[in-house]
Amino acid sequence: MKGTGDQHKQLVFQVEQDDNMLVATCHEPEMATQGQTLDELIAMIRDLVQCRFDENDDRLTWPIRLHFLQDPVLSAQVA
C-alpha cells in the first residue's frame, strides 16, 4: 500500500506525560505507543512505524515529528 496522499509527508506524534509514562499518539494514521523515558519512547515509535506499514510503503521514509503538549518551562536562575 502506498501513502495516503497526505501533503504534509510526515508522521506527527503528540507526546504527553501520563503518570510515569510518556504517551505518543499519531492521528493520521491512528496509532499510539508509550515509553518510560524519551529514548525508550523514540525506540517504540520507530518500531511501531516499521511494524505498521508494509516495506514498500513510502510513509516509512517520512520524517517523524514529536509535538510535546506540555513543554517544560525553565528558569534562568539556578536553584
**Predicted TM-score of the model (pTM):** 0.80
Q: Is the peptide bond before 63 cis (omega within 30 degrees of 0)?
A: no
**CA–CA distance, 33 with 42 (Å, rounded to integer):** 10
List the chain domain ranges: 11-68
**CA–CA distance, 26 with 62 (Å, rounded to integer):** 13
Q: pLDDT by residue (tens digit) across 24-73?
A: 999 999 999 999 999 999 999 999 999 999 999 999 999 999 999 887 77
**CA–CA distance, 48 with 59 (Å, rounded to integer):** 12
**Residue-level pLDDT at 79:** 67
Going by their DSSP bridges, the two strands 64-68 and 11-18 should be labelled as parallel
Residue 13 burial (C-beta neighbours within 10 Å; 0-12, 13-18, 19+) = buried
